[in-house]
Amino acid sequence: MKVTLLGSITAIYYLYGLSKSFFFLYATGVTGIFFIVYVSPFFFNVFLYKGYNQEVQVIALLVLIIITLSYTYDGLSKSFLFLCEFIRVTRILLGGLSMIFLFILYLFLVFHCKKSNNKSKVARLVGEIQYKDLNMLGSGGAMVRASKVDGLEAIEAGFVRKIHYEELKTATTNFSDKLGSGGSGQVFKCILKCGTSAAVKRLEREIYGEQEFLSELIATSSTRHFNLIHVHRYCSHVSETSRFYYVVYDLFKNGSLDSWIFPIKDCPNGRFLNWKKRCKVAVDVAKALVYLHRDCGKQILHLDIKPKNILVGDDFRGVLSDLGMCKLMSIDEKCFQTELTRGTFHYMAPEWNSSHAKEKSVDIF
């Protein structure tokens, strides 16, 4: 019973030392185990089984405790030194990580501010490049005449990259794959360097003026919506024989909505939209208008909505295109005044025949 008691007490002290010095087990591990296995039995045999009195047994127990604590103290001291070194290294690492984090945060803020400034500049330029009519600007309704903005400055403020004419000529195989034509120009198929198929709209400068080109380019480049056309590239080319604008946008193999609802000789047989698909296209166009009128951070009025300006995707998704006649309004404006009539005659709202201010409802007639 006495042997068990002494051994238990010694083991408790030793395990306590181990628990306090777990970082340096070598300090108390090997030597401590050697002591427990080989030295302790000697003390037990000499002092307990040889008939020594109680005082000697107490001294033996104290010797056991002192030796155990000495090894434990050695482990604790090394653990303390290790902890100090660990804390020092941790502080260095945390300091380095903090510097890296602050640097990344700085880059993020610089990029975010630059992007925000670009968007603000785009919004300002979209308003400035409107037709030379009277624009209602500001909540007070002050009337000022729009200033003429340099085309290059307006384009550079947007998010559409320029494509060189020679590269565009190669991508379209010298404009050989014609997809269709309209009153303002022709549409060709092209394959970009990345392998993506796209459509190229070639606009004649004499018909499609600079203001229309810049309005469409900047308005579409500063907006993003699933049901709104997205412009990838642009090009302005002038030569002795030709003067064209080029706009590269997503390719829609199904063409425009007018080829599905009006009988055309060149249309494939059986090309027809049932009422369910027609309603789907109508809802998609409505979503695009809600985005332009309310959710894009400003009010952009399309002002030329017609079947020819609605493209049909592979899944019969309706996509609104051709923002050449668009008009920018501040988010709190309710109406606008203009001296020019915009849109296609058969699809125009009756309010265009009036000289009074127009509301944005003319865009959803």
Both structure tokens of 38: 């080989």
Question: Higher confidence at residue 243 or residue 78?
Answer: 243
**pLDDT at site 135:** 37
Q: List, for residues 198-227, the tens digit of each pLDDT value.
A: 989 888 776 666 777 777 777 777 788 889
Provide the b/e sequence for 207-239 (b: ≥16 CB within 10 Å): ebbebbbbbbbbbbbbbebebbbebbbbbbbee
To which residue do tokens 């695009």 refer? 288
Question: Higher confidence at residue 352 or residue 103?
Answer: 103
The residues facing 190 across adjacent strands are 198
Question: Higher confidence at residue 51 or residue 101?
Answer: 101
Asked whether residue 146 carries a pLDDT value surpassing 50, the answer given is no
Query: Does the annotation flag 298 for ligand binding?
Result: no
Asked whether residue 318 carries a pLDDT value surpassing 90, the answer given is yes
Both structure tokens of 313: 């995707």
Mean pLDDT of 115-142: 43
**pLDDT at site 140:** 30
Asked whether residue 326 carries a pLDDT value surpassing 70, the answer given is yes
**pLDDT at site 313:** 87
Residue 260 binned pLDDT confidence (cut-offs 50, 70, 90): confident
Asked whether residue 116 carries a pLDDT value surpassing 50, the answer given is yes
Question: Higher confidence at residue 169 or residue 358?
Answer: 169
**pLDDT at site 285:** 93
Mean pLDDT of the chain: 71
Supply the Cα-derived Rg of the chain in whole angstroms: 41
Catalytic residues: 304
Among the residues of the chain, which ranges form H helices?
A: 2-20, 25-34, 40-48, 54-128, 151-157, 165-171, 210-221, 258-261, 275-290
Residues 6 or more apart from 142 whose CB is under 8 A from it?
A: 136
Burial class (CB in 10 A: 0-12, 13-18, 19+), 169: middle
% the chain with pLDDT above 70: 58
Q: For 292, which DSSP code? A: I
**pLDDT at site 358:** 77
The residues facing 198 across adjacent strands are 190, 250
